[in-house]
A and B are shown apart, each in its own frame.
Chain A
Amino acid sequence: SAVISQKPSRDICQRGTSLTIQCQVDSQVTMMFWYRQQPGQSLTLIATANQGSEATYESGFVIDKFPISRPNLTFSTLTVSNMSPEDSSIYLCSVEDRLGGYEQYFGPGTRLTVT
Protein backbone atom coordinates (compact mmCIF):
# COMPACT_ATOMS: atom_id res chain seq x y z
CA SER A 1 0.00 0.00 0.00
CA ALA A 2 1.06 3.58 -0.63
CA VAL A 3 1.80 6.04 2.13
CA ILE A 4 0.70 9.58 1.43
CA SER A 5 1.57 12.78 3.24
CA GLN A 6 0.11 16.21 2.81
CA LYS A 7 1.35 19.66 3.73
CA PRO A 8 0.12 21.71 5.42
CA SER A 9 -2.15 19.65 7.64
CA ARG A 10 -4.24 22.73 8.31
CA ASP A 11 -4.20 26.46 7.65
CA ILE A 12 -6.23 29.57 8.25
CA CYS A 13 -6.12 32.00 5.36
CA GLN A 14 -7.48 35.41 4.51
CA ARG A 15 -9.99 35.75 1.72
CA GLY A 16 -8.48 36.74 -1.60
CA THR A 17 -5.22 34.89 -0.98
CA SER A 18 -4.05 31.55 -2.36
CA LEU A 19 -2.79 28.38 -0.71
CA THR A 20 -0.79 25.59 -2.26
CA ILE A 21 -1.26 22.10 -0.84
CA GLN A 22 1.41 19.49 -1.36
CA CYS A 23 0.88 15.76 -1.72
CA GLN A 24 3.82 13.35 -1.49
CA VAL A 25 3.64 9.60 -2.13
CA ASP A 26 6.24 7.07 -1.05
CA SER A 27 6.10 5.21 -4.37
CA GLN A 28 5.70 6.06 -8.02
CA VAL A 29 2.10 6.25 -9.17
CA THR A 30 0.55 7.17 -12.47
CA MET A 31 -2.70 8.69 -11.33
CA MET A 32 -3.27 11.08 -8.47
CA PHE A 33 -6.57 12.58 -7.48
CA TRP A 34 -7.66 15.64 -5.55
CA TYR A 35 -10.88 15.68 -3.52
CA ARG A 36 -12.72 18.25 -1.49
CA GLN A 37 -14.76 17.46 1.60
CA GLN A 38 -16.85 20.35 2.83
CA PRO A 39 -17.81 20.44 6.52
CA GLY A 40 -20.09 17.55 7.38
CA GLN A 41 -20.28 16.45 3.77
CA SER A 42 -19.03 13.64 1.61
CA LEU A 43 -16.05 13.77 -0.74
CA THR A 44 -16.20 15.37 -4.17
CA LEU A 45 -13.60 14.74 -6.84
CA ILE A 46 -11.95 17.94 -8.03
CA ALA A 47 -9.54 16.64 -10.66
CA THR A 48 -7.33 13.82 -11.84
CA ALA A 49 -3.62 14.54 -12.23
CA ASN A 50 -1.44 12.36 -14.42
CA GLN A 51 2.25 12.99 -14.70
CA GLY A 52 3.19 14.63 -17.97
CA SER A 53 -0.25 15.85 -18.90
CA GLU A 54 -2.74 18.53 -17.94
CA ALA A 55 -5.05 17.75 -15.07
CA THR A 56 -8.59 16.74 -15.89
CA TYR A 57 -11.19 18.68 -13.94
CA GLU A 58 -14.64 17.54 -12.92
CA SER A 59 -17.75 19.56 -13.56
CA GLY A 60 -17.88 22.62 -11.34
CA PHE A 61 -14.12 22.91 -10.91
CA VAL A 62 -11.85 25.00 -13.13
CA ILE A 63 -8.13 25.29 -13.59
CA ASP A 64 -8.02 29.01 -12.80
CA LYS A 65 -9.47 28.37 -9.36
CA PHE A 66 -7.69 25.06 -8.62
CA PRO A 67 -4.45 24.88 -10.61
CA ILE A 68 -2.70 21.55 -10.22
CA SER A 69 0.89 20.57 -10.86
CA ARG A 70 2.26 17.05 -11.30
CA PRO A 71 6.00 17.38 -11.85
CA ASN A 72 6.87 13.73 -11.21
CA LEU A 73 5.41 10.36 -10.28
CA THR A 74 5.51 10.93 -6.51
CA PHE A 75 4.38 14.51 -6.05
CA SER A 76 1.51 16.87 -6.83
CA THR A 77 0.26 20.24 -5.69
CA LEU A 78 -3.19 21.77 -5.60
CA THR A 79 -3.55 25.52 -5.32
CA VAL A 80 -6.75 27.08 -4.05
CA SER A 81 -6.75 30.54 -5.61
CA ASN A 82 -8.45 33.77 -4.64
CA MET A 83 -10.03 32.08 -1.67
CA SER A 84 -13.41 32.86 -0.18
CA PRO A 85 -15.06 31.44 2.95
CA GLU A 86 -16.90 28.94 0.71
CA ASP A 87 -13.53 27.30 0.02
CA SER A 88 -13.25 26.25 3.66
CA SER A 89 -13.00 22.48 3.38
CA ILE A 90 -10.75 19.52 3.80
CA TYR A 91 -8.69 18.85 0.69
CA LEU A 92 -7.45 15.31 0.17
CA CYS A 93 -5.22 13.70 -2.38
CA SER A 94 -5.35 10.04 -3.30
CA VAL A 95 -3.55 7.59 -5.55
CA GLU A 96 -4.70 4.47 -7.27
CA ASP A 97 -3.65 1.00 -6.28
CA ARG A 98 -1.15 -0.37 -8.75
CA LEU A 99 -3.16 -3.55 -9.05
CA GLY A 100 -6.15 -1.59 -10.28
CA GLY A 101 -9.66 -1.94 -9.05
CA TYR A 102 -11.40 0.70 -7.05
CA GLU A 103 -8.87 0.75 -4.23
CA GLN A 104 -7.30 4.11 -3.65
CA TYR A 105 -5.08 5.36 -0.88
CA PHE A 106 -5.88 8.71 0.65
CA GLY A 107 -3.74 11.26 2.35
CA PRO A 108 -4.68 12.63 5.77
CA GLY A 109 -6.13 15.78 4.25
CA THR A 110 -5.50 19.51 4.60
CA ARG A 111 -8.06 21.39 6.65
CA LEU A 112 -8.46 24.87 5.19
CA THR A 113 -10.34 27.68 6.89
CA VAL A 114 -10.86 30.92 5.01
CA THR A 115 -11.78 33.99 7.03
Chain B
Amino acid sequence: LAKTTQPISMDSYEGQEVNITCSHNNIATNDYITWYQQFPSQGPRFIIQGYKTKVTNEVASLFIPADRKSSTLSLPRVSLSDTAVYYCLVGDPNDYKLSFGAGTTVTVRA
Protein backbone atom coordinates (compact mmCIF):
# COMPACT_ATOMS: atom_id res chain seq x y z
CA LEU B 1 0.00 0.00 0.00
CA ALA B 2 1.29 3.42 -0.94
CA LYS B 3 2.27 5.59 2.00
CA THR B 4 0.62 8.98 2.24
CA THR B 5 1.71 12.23 3.82
CA GLN B 6 -0.69 15.02 4.69
CA PRO B 7 -0.58 18.02 7.03
CA ILE B 8 -1.44 17.29 10.63
CA SER B 9 -3.82 20.21 10.97
CA MET B 10 -5.34 23.14 9.14
CA ASP B 11 -7.39 26.08 10.34
CA SER B 12 -9.96 27.93 8.31
CA TYR B 13 -12.92 30.26 8.63
CA GLU B 14 -16.50 29.83 7.58
CA GLY B 15 -17.09 30.51 3.90
CA GLN B 16 -13.50 29.89 2.87
CA GLU B 17 -12.23 27.16 0.60
CA VAL B 18 -10.04 24.54 2.24
CA ASN B 19 -7.46 22.65 0.21
CA ILE B 20 -5.70 19.64 1.72
CA THR B 21 -2.78 18.20 -0.20
CA CYS B 22 -1.74 14.60 0.15
CA SER B 23 1.60 13.25 -1.08
CA HIS B 24 1.85 9.68 -2.33
CA ASN B 25 5.10 9.40 -4.23
CA ASN B 26 5.05 5.61 -4.65
CA ILE B 27 1.50 5.26 -5.90
CA ALA B 28 1.03 2.17 -8.07
CA THR B 29 -0.67 1.92 -11.42
CA ASN B 30 -3.76 0.21 -10.01
CA ASP B 31 -4.10 2.52 -7.02
CA TYR B 32 -6.95 4.95 -6.56
CA ILE B 33 -7.00 7.96 -4.24
CA THR B 34 -9.80 8.08 -1.71
CA TRP B 35 -10.71 10.58 0.98
CA TYR B 36 -12.67 9.94 4.15
CA GLN B 37 -14.05 12.35 6.73
CA GLN B 38 -14.42 11.53 10.41
CA PHE B 39 -16.35 13.56 12.95
CA PRO B 40 -15.75 13.04 16.67
CA SER B 41 -17.46 9.94 18.03
CA GLN B 42 -18.40 8.71 14.57
CA GLY B 43 -17.02 6.28 12.05
CA PRO B 44 -15.29 7.60 8.93
CA ARG B 45 -17.44 8.61 5.97
CA PHE B 46 -16.45 8.28 2.34
CA ILE B 47 -16.11 11.66 0.62
CA ILE B 48 -14.63 11.18 -2.82
CA GLN B 49 -12.46 8.92 -4.92
CA GLY B 50 -10.44 9.45 -8.09
CA TYR B 51 -7.80 8.01 -10.34
CA LYS B 52 -6.58 10.98 -12.34
CA THR B 53 -7.44 14.58 -13.34
CA LYS B 54 -10.42 16.00 -11.48
CA VAL B 55 -13.41 14.53 -9.73
CA THR B 56 -16.23 16.59 -8.28
CA ASN B 57 -19.30 15.68 -6.27
CA GLU B 58 -21.75 17.55 -4.09
CA VAL B 59 -19.33 17.60 -1.18
CA ALA B 60 -15.84 18.16 -2.56
CA SER B 61 -13.48 18.19 -5.50
CA LEU B 62 -10.40 16.07 -5.92
CA PHE B 63 -7.54 17.28 -8.08
CA ILE B 64 -4.93 14.79 -9.25
CA PRO B 65 -1.97 15.89 -11.40
CA ALA B 66 -0.73 13.83 -14.30
CA ASP B 67 2.07 12.15 -12.34
CA ARG B 68 -0.42 11.16 -9.59
CA LYS B 69 2.24 11.62 -6.91
CA SER B 70 -0.01 13.96 -4.99
CA SER B 71 -3.64 14.96 -4.78
CA THR B 72 -5.62 17.85 -3.35
CA LEU B 73 -8.99 17.65 -1.67
CA SER B 74 -10.89 20.90 -2.02
CA LEU B 75 -13.78 21.75 0.30
CA PRO B 76 -15.66 24.79 -1.01
CA ARG B 77 -17.13 27.36 1.35
CA VAL B 78 -16.65 25.42 4.57
CA SER B 79 -18.94 25.76 7.56
CA LEU B 80 -18.45 24.96 11.23
CA SER B 81 -19.88 21.50 10.59
CA ASP B 82 -16.94 20.67 8.32
CA THR B 83 -14.66 20.54 11.34
CA ALA B 84 -13.37 16.97 11.22
CA VAL B 85 -10.39 14.75 10.50
CA TYR B 86 -9.80 14.10 6.80
CA TYR B 87 -7.94 10.99 5.70
CA CYS B 88 -6.22 10.44 2.37
CA LEU B 89 -5.97 6.79 1.35
CA VAL B 90 -4.21 5.28 -1.63
CA GLY B 91 -4.65 1.70 -2.74
CA ASP B 92 -6.07 -0.83 -5.14
CA PRO B 93 -9.88 -0.86 -4.78
CA ASN B 94 -9.89 -4.59 -5.39
CA ASP B 95 -7.88 -5.02 -2.21
CA TYR B 96 -10.60 -3.60 0.07
CA LYS B 97 -8.10 -3.19 2.88
CA LEU B 98 -8.17 0.45 3.87
CA SER B 99 -4.92 1.81 5.28
CA PHE B 100 -5.53 4.99 7.22
CA GLY B 101 -2.73 7.45 7.82
CA ALA B 102 -2.66 10.10 10.52
CA GLY B 103 -5.17 12.35 8.76
CA THR B 104 -5.56 16.12 8.75
CA THR B 105 -7.57 17.80 11.46
CA VAL B 106 -9.47 20.68 9.89
CA THR B 107 -10.86 23.24 12.28
CA VAL B 108 -13.33 25.76 10.93
CA ARG B 109 -13.87 28.88 12.99
CA ALA B 110 -16.67 31.41 12.89
Interface residues of A in 69-115 (CB under 8 A from B): 92, 94, 96-97, 100-109, 111
The tally of residues in B whose CB lies under 8 Å from a CB in A reads: 22
Q: How far is the CA of A106 from the CA of B42 in the complex (A)?
A: 8
A: contact size bracket: 20 to 34
> CB distance A102 to B91 under 8 Å?
yes
Contact with B along A1-26 (1 / 0, CB 8 A): 00010000000000000000000000
Closest Cβ of chain A to B5, distance in Å, is: 13
Q: Which residues of B contact A109 (CB under 8 A)?
A: 41-43
> CB distance A48 to B93 under 8 Å?
no
Q: With A31-B96, A42-B100, A45-B98 in contact, do A102 and B89 touch (Cβ < 8 Å)?
A: yes
Closest Cβ of chain A to B100, distance in Å, is: 4
Candidates B42, B93, B101, B102; contact of A102 at CB < 8 Å: B93
Name the CB-closest residue of B to A42: B100
> CB distance B101 to A103 under 8 Å?
no
> CB distance B93 to A106 under 8 Å?
no
Interface residues of B in 19-75 (CB under 8 A from A): 32, 34, 41-46, 49
Highest count of chain B CB atoms <10 Å: which of A44, A92, A103: A103
Q: Which residues of B contact A94 (CB under 8 A)?
A: 43, 98
Closest Cβ of chain B to A95, distance in Å, is: 10
> CB distance B49 to A101 under 8 Å?
yes
Name the CB-closest residue of B to A96: B96
Q: Which residues of B contact A111 (CB under 8 A)?
A: 41
Q: Which residues of B contact A106 (CB under 8 A)?
A: 42-45
Q: How far is the CA of A58 from the CA of B103 in the complex (A)?
A: 21
Please list the residues of chain A having a beta carbon within 8 angstroms of any beta carbon in chain B: 4, 31, 33, 42-45, 48, 58, 92, 94, 96-97, 100-109, 111
Q: What are 7 inter-chain pairs, A to B, with CB distance below 8 A? A: A42-B101, A43-B100, A94-B43, A97-B46, A102-B93, A106-B42, A107-B43
